[in-house]
Each structure stands twice: as structure tokens, then as C-alpha cells.
């Protein structure tokens, strides 16, 4: 069924619409916008809402462009009707205390652990060396328990001989140093 156009009554000029605003001239010849039908009123409301949304989107886009280097978006908050955020110095101090606490909680014990691990490695190496020396000394002590080894050491270190043996001592040849002859010139004492 085709729609038939609805006749609208003539719009009247409102005395309120023609009143001067802030010292401006009155709008002459502009009628006051008063829709005649309910359907027209609803269409006007929808158009107003659409215009408001468009204006809000523009304001938000402008606010995004105006975001400062710190990353705050005070202009966007102002466009949305919210007050600007204030950063308290207490927040920064709390963050610093947390960072220092984390350093003490993780860095100091880690450093202590690494130091203890290094010390343990050094002690392990020293223990290995001492065990080797101990094994050597134990083998030598076992050898010293035999008569043959005691006799060998007595002959080498103390020059002992059995009865009926002759002891020979080889004396190293003395090294002589000669001083070069000095020549004196006649007339010089």
C-alpha cells in the first residue's frame, strides 16, 4: 500500500527563537522548529542522536591526536566528561620501594648462591688434590715398611755401608775462577 504524504501545518515563528542571544541580532525569518506529527518528532530525535554521536566521535578522534608523550589522554577524558587523572607521587615512591624489594628478594640470594657454588667448586678441586697427595703418601709409607727401602734410604741420605764394604765419595772438581790480569800504564799508580 503506497504511503500518502501527510500534510503539515504551517510553521509559526516563535518569539523565543527570535530573541537576541548575548547581544546578537535576532534571527529574522527563521521559523521555530516544531514538528507537527509524532513521526516527524521521532525522525528529528534520531537525527539529533546521530549528530551527537558524530560529534562525540570527532571529539574522541581529536583527543586521541592530542595524547601527549606520557601516554595520558586527558583531552579524551575531558571530551567524555570525566576529570583528568592525577598521578600521585606516592605511586612512584611505592613503585620504587617494590623494585628495591624485588632486588633484595631475588638479586641478593642469587648472588649468594653463585658465590657459594664457586666456593664449593674450589673446595672440591682442593679436596681432589689433597686426596691425590694422601694416596701418594700412603704408598710411600707402605714402601717404608720394608727393609729394602730403609736400607736404600740410609745409603743415599746418610752414606751408611755394610761391614766389609768400602765407601767411595766422589768429590766434585772445584771450579776456579781466574781474574783477568790488570794492566797498569807507566806513570799511573
Helices 147-158 and 108-144 pack at an angle, to 10 degrees, of 90
Confidence at residue 69, expressed as pLDDT on a 0 to 100 scale: 44
pTM above 0.75, yes or no: no
For residue 80, how far is the Cα from the chain centroid?
37
Is the pLDDT score of 135 beyond 70?
yes
Rounded mean pLDDT, 115-119: 96
Where does the pLDDT of residue 28 fall: very low under 50, low under 70, confident under 90, or very high at 90 and above?
low
Cell of 10: 504551517
Question: pLDDT higher for 119 or 21?
Answer: 119
**Domain extents in the chain:** 38-79, 89-158
pLDDT tens, residue by residue, 60-114: 777 776 655 445 555 556 666 666 666 788 888 999 999 999 888 888 889 899 9
Q: How far apart are CA 136 and CA 142, in angstroms?
A: 10
Cell of 128: 681432589
Apex 95 CA angle, 91 and 99, nearest 5: 170
Amino acid at each position: 500500500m503506497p504511503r500518502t504524504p501527510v500534510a503539515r501545518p504551517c510553521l509559526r515563528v516563535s518569539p523565543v527563537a527570535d530573541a537576541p542571544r548575548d547581544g546578537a541580532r535576532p534571527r529574522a525569518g527563521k521559523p521555530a522548529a516544531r514538528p507537527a506529527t509524532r513521526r516527524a518528532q521521532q525522525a528529528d530525535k534520531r537525527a539529533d542522536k546521530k549528530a551527537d554521536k558524530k560529534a562525540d566521535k570527532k571529539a574522541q578522534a581529536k583527543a586521541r591526536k592530542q595524547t601527549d608523550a606520557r601516554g595520558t589522554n586527558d583531552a579524551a577524558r575531558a571530551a567524555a566528561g570525566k576529570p583528568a587523572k592525577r598521578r600521585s607521587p606516592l605511586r612512584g615512591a611505592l613503585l620504587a620501594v617494590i623494585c628495591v624489594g624485588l632486588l633484595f628478594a631475588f638479586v641478593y640470594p642469587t648472588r649468594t648462591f653463585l658465590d657459594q657454588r664457586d666456593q664449593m667448586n674450589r673446595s672440591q678441586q682442593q679436596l681432589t688434590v689433597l686426596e691425590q697427595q694422601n694416596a701418594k703418601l700412603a704408598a710411600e709409607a707402605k714402601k717404608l715398611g720394608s727393609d729394602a727401602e730403609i736400607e736404600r734410604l740410609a745409603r743415599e741420605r746418610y752414606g751408611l755401608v755394610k761391614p766389609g764394604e768400602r765407601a767411595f765419595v766422589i768429590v766434585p772438581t772445584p771450579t776456579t775462577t781466574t781474574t783477568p790480569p790488570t794492566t797498569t800504564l807507566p806513570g799511573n799508580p
